[in-house]
Structure 1
């Protein structure tokens, strides 16, 4: 197995795409976040705000109608799309696709969501047909999705328990075990796997990268939702799935470190949202072009 890639600031700077000085709204990515349930309204909000902080131009947030007021009240930047049911049903999936703009560059699906398995498969299929890049997290990480995302380059972002549920095997406990197992599953299914934990392991089946968690304060709920939104935003900006995954994990960790320096072991996930601009600003580049 090839040696793991060392993820450094220099590498991340090389990976991050520049923004054209001539770009218009929509040129820097349009993202769909689909998630939430009657009990979990925060997860899709965190993912949506992270996608916006990534530099994406537009983010559509699809949540059950029962929580849409709470979602809309968080920020005027959120474009909330109401789904009729508290869980993702086939009818809700069809309704959602009908509400979307003609072009959606990337979608992050599953955070805080209650689902019917056949509905998540139907939604993925329709988004694929529209050319949308897919990232799956949380409730969307079920074995049934593997047939639909195989060999698509989609990103999955499981923690150890979700990894076991998705692939039917343990991720391992040592660095060697985790890198070997993650690479094997990524290669078998043709996806990019970003395993979250004390050691984040990212692989597309060929290349492998590892990034140590920046602080144990990052165990607080919601930091994974921020990661998923950030990765989806980078996907929407045109990054390759593996590059988007490692850049997102790295930048999410930097934001966690900034928040930790400010608040110690008492951070909450919204602290990462507040810290993302400082984490990402050193990697900003503007491409000068003539009109």
Structure 2
């Protein structure tokens, strides 16, 4: 039986870094969120806002042209770069060096987008967080996993994980398959669920926060934004994964007396991040 290390509040408080009194935005990291497609611009809006609310100094979103006015209106603190295409991402390009990149939220699986994702992976050297349709694209040809930078963070939910590793008979078999995938490719895999488990090679960590209120559209997009923001702030990838998952769950725990299970939505997760951080100080 594989045993997990439990993620406790004490362990999280040791990871969380204080913000120096003389900090400026350039010292707090620059995160890039790549995603969105026609009808799914909300995903990259949520991720970008979550990255900012995690303490990241600068956040840029790369998205199709149809999302430009939406994201500039929804979260004016986020900078925006658009693809040449109106509805989908066809060619990822930017003229700065981000400290972390989150890719995949709402991106879709159009053949042109898949090609753009492959070209991006071939040229990217920045620490990477991979979610949503970027995971589904990877599952179509797992040889692309070799293009990921060391300690890239993958954040699959159950169906996305199944597409990556195949089916399993029990939790033990699932975890063993994830450990093998993580070890072979030197990647970190966050198995989203109840509870969420983080696998980094032979080491696995079980989260202790969160509840069923997180079973809502956009919740995973927020998690991707939080973790990308933390990596951009120079947290080690495994630290960012552990801290991000803990904070994400903690927002739902703190919100429960006011929001309950039924009416909590992904943007509430972002709204309760300040209280989550404050509860750890």
TM-score, with structure 1 as normaliser: 0.87
Kept after mapping to 2: 8 A contact 1:183/1:206: yes
Q: Does 1:158 align with 2:156?
A: yes
Which of 232, 242, 248 aligns to 2:244? It is 248
Q: How does 1:29-178 map to 2 (within 5 A)?
A: 29-85=29-85, 86-89=87-90, 92-93=91-92, 96-97=93-94, 100-101=95-96, 103-115=97-109, 116-128=113-125, 132-141=126-135, 142-143=138-139, 144=141, 145-149=144-148, 152-167=150-165, 169-170=166-167, 173-174=170-171, 176-178=172-174
Q: Deviations over 1:19-38 (max 9, x none)?
A: 22232222111100011100
Note if contact 1:198-1:212 (Cα within 8 Å) is conserved in structure 2.
no
d(CA) in 2 for partners of 1:205, 1:36: 31
- Mapped to 2, the partners of 1:235 and 1:170 lie a distance apart of 31
Determine the structure 2 residue equivalent to 1:288: none
User: Quick one: distance in 2 between partners of 1:123 and 1:183?
Assistant: 26
Spell out the pairing of 1:255-266 with structure 2 (5 A cutoff). Answer: 255-264=251-260, 265-266=262-263
- Counterparts in 2 of 1:58 and 1:199: CA distance versus 1, 3 Å: same
Structure 1's 135 and 69: CA in aligned 2 closer, same or farther, altered over 3 A? same
Contact 1:108 1:137 in 2 (8 A): yes
1:170 is paired with a residue whose SS is coil
Alpha-carbon distance change, 21 to 74 in structure 1, aligned in 2, over 3 angstroms: same
Describe the SS at the equivalent of 1:19: coil
The Cα shift of 1:212 comes to 5.1
Given that 1:197 and 1:213 are in contact with CA atoms closer than 8 Å, whether structure 2 keeps it comes out as: no
Gaps of 5+ in 2: none
- Runs of 5+ unmatched residues, structure 1: 285-291
Give the conservation status (yes or no) of the 8 Å contact 2:179–2:201: yes
Alignment partners' CA distance in 2, 1:217 and 1:2: 28
Compared CA separation, residues 135 and 218, structure 1 to 2 (3 A): same
Equivalent residue number for residue 282 of structure 1: 279
Match of 1:6 in 2: 6
Distance 1:172 1:64, change over 3 A: farther
Question: What is the match of residue 180 of structure 2?
Answer: 184
**How far does residue 171 in structure 1 lie from its aligned partner after superposition?**
5.8
Task: Count how many residue pairs are aligned between Structure 1 and Structure 2.
Answer: 271
Aligned to 2:198: 202
Indicate the SS of the match to 1:258. Answer: helix
Name the TM-score, length of structure 2 as normaliser.
0.90
Contact 1:182 1:202 in 2 (8 A): no
Contact 1:106 1:133 in 2 (8 A): yes
Following superposition, the deviation at residue 218 of structure 1 comes to 0.9
Cα distance in 1, alignment partners of residues 18 and 123 from structure 2 = 30
RMSD: 1.8
1:126-183 Cα deviation digits (max 9, x unpaired): 331xxx210000011123431211x61100000111112233x136653x34433322
Moved more, 202-211 or 54-63: 202-211
- The C-alpha deviation readout for 1:17-76, integer Å capped at 9, x for no partner, is 232223222211110001110010110011111100110000001111012111111021
1:272: Cα distance to partner? 0.5
